[in-house]
Amino acid sequence: MSDKSAAVKASRLSKAYGEGSGRTVVLDNIDVTFERGELTAVMGPPAAGKSTLLHCIAGLEKPTSGRIWLGGDKLTGLDDESLSRIRRDRIGFIFQSYNLLPTLTVAENIMLPFELAGRHPDQDFADRVVDAVGLRDKLMRLPGKLSGGQRQRVATARALMLKPDVVFADEPTAALDPHGSADVIELLRHSVDELHQTVVMVTHDPVVAARADRVVFFESGQVATELRSPTAEGIGERMKALARRRRMRDGSGW
Ligand SMILES: Nc1ncnc2c1ncn2[C@@H]1O[C@H](COP(=O)(O)OP(=O)(O)OP(=O)(O)O)[C@@H](O)[C@H]1O
Ligand SMILES: [Mg+2]
């Protein structure tokens, strides 16, 4: 069943790569829901399956089994064409490496989603986003002439432009210095608080995750635990507890 208050819901979601003895189970029968109008952080050790989860629920990769809903619409089982249309029109994605088009100006990069979707630009909303990301004086620049933080703000503006049902961000601050990182997380926070966006963001940084409404901790392809209204200290403690449990389970510690 789909859940009307959920922006995204995955049910019994699994993803495995390879065959036979080379088979690796990356997502192991996961149930997870991301609420509408919230900023959710996804955390967990390297290779836990965080990027795979985001790619599967954003329709960039096909799960091995399970179901995914975007609002009331089931994504699993759709043909490739319908899925790419939904991905283009209703899902935003922010990558660690920005993925801007180097030969297009900032303005052209930001407005590209309208062109790809064949939609008329919503100029009022575009203006609000440009002001929110603080790039009004950089609109005619090429991405190569921007700092990392500025580039990620362009990528964020681009992801917000079509008011997607959800924006996924995979370690959006990982390549940035603390100042750039703070700018980008505050921008994502603003997009949720002021533009009523739903954001799901993977991060390794407790300070970044503390700006979320909820943190989902991921481990070995499963949801291990979660935290509401997190603080950086609370996140740090939970990470330590999970690491301790991992060492005990692996027999490599106490
Ligand atoms: N295309 C693929 N083919 C085979 N294995 C893959 C593929 N993509 C990912 N994996 C494996 O899946 C596991 C989870 O990878 P994933 O990138 O989802 O982890 P992650 O939690 O995002 O890690 P990190 O924090 O390092 O980004 C890893 O063991 C990885 O090697
Ligand atoms: Mg990853």
| Domain total in the chain | 1
Integer Cα distance of 14 and 16 in angstroms: 7
**Rounded to the nearest whole angstrom, what is the distance from the C-alpha of residue 117 to the centroid of ligand 1?**
30
> Which residues have their alpha-adjacent CB atom under 5 A from ion ligand 2?
51
**Rounded to the nearest whole angstrom, what is the distance from the C-alpha of residue 24 to the centroid of ligand 1?**
10
On whether residue 224 sits in a domain, the answer given is yes
Average pLDDT, the chain: 92
Show the domain range for 70.
6-250
Output the domain CATH number for residue 99: 3.40.50.300
C-alpha angle 2/15/62, rounded to 5°?
70
On whether residue 23 sits in a domain, the answer given is yes
How many residues comprise the chain? 254
On whether residue 1 sits in a domain, the answer given is no
What would the two tokens of residue 130 be? Answer: 């440009």
Instruction: Render 200-214 in DSSP notation, one character per residue.
Output: EEE-S-HHHHTTSSE
Instruction: Render 10-29 in DSSP notation, one character per residue.
Output: EEEEEEEESSGGG-EEEEEE
Closest by CA to 172, choosing from 161, 32, 160, 164, is 160
> Amino acid identity, residue 88?
R
**Mean pLDDT of each 10-residue bin along the chain, 254 residues long:** 76 95 94 96 94 94 96 93 93 93 96 92 91 92 95 94 95 91 92 95 96 95 94 95 88 58
* pTM score: 0.93
Q: Whose CA is nearest to atom 9 of ligand 1?
A: 52
On whether residue 225 sits in a domain, the answer given is yes
Q: Whose CA is nearest to atom 27 of ligand 1?
A: 46
Q: What is the pLDDT of residue 22?
A: 92
